Amino acid sequence: FSHVYGIPEHASTLSLKETRGGSESAYTEPYRLYNLDVFEYELDNPMSLYGSIPFMMAHRKGASAAILWLNSAETWIDITKSKEDKHGLSSFLNFGKSTITTNTHWISESGIIDIFIFLGPTTSDIHYQYGLLTGFTTMPQYFAIAYHQCRWNYLNQDDVFEVDEGFDKYDIPYD
Strands 63-70 vs 31-33: parallel, antiparallel or unpaired: unpaired
Q: How confident is the model at residue 74 (pLDDT cuts 50, 70, 90)?
A: very high
Domain housing 43: 4-134
DSSP assignment of 69-101: EE--S-EEEEEEEES---SSHHHHHTTT----E
pLDDT tens track for 55-69: 999 999 999 999 999
Q: Are residues 130 and 145 located together in one domain of the fold?
A: no
pLDDT (0 to 100) of residue 77: 96
pLDDT tens track for 108-163: 999 999 999 999 899 999 999 999 999 998 988 887 777 778 877 788 999 999 99
Q: Are residues 162 and 130 located together in one domain of the fold?
A: no
pLDDT tens track for 9-42: 889 999 999 998 767 778 999 999 999 888 888 8
Q: Judge contact between 9 and 43, C-beta under 8 A.
A: no
Higher per-residue pLDDT: 93 or 127: 127
pLDDT (0 to 100) of residue 6: 94
Number of domains in the chain: 2
Q: Are residues 87 and 114 located together in one domain of the fold?
A: yes
pLDDT tens track for 133-143: 999 989 888 87
pLDDT (0 to 100) of residue 7: 94
Q: Is 118 left (phi over 0), alpha (psi -120 to 50) or beta?
A: beta
Is the model's pLDDT at 92 over the cut of 70? no
Q: Are residues 58 and 118 located together in one domain of the fold?
A: yes
pLDDT (0 to 100) of residue 119: 95
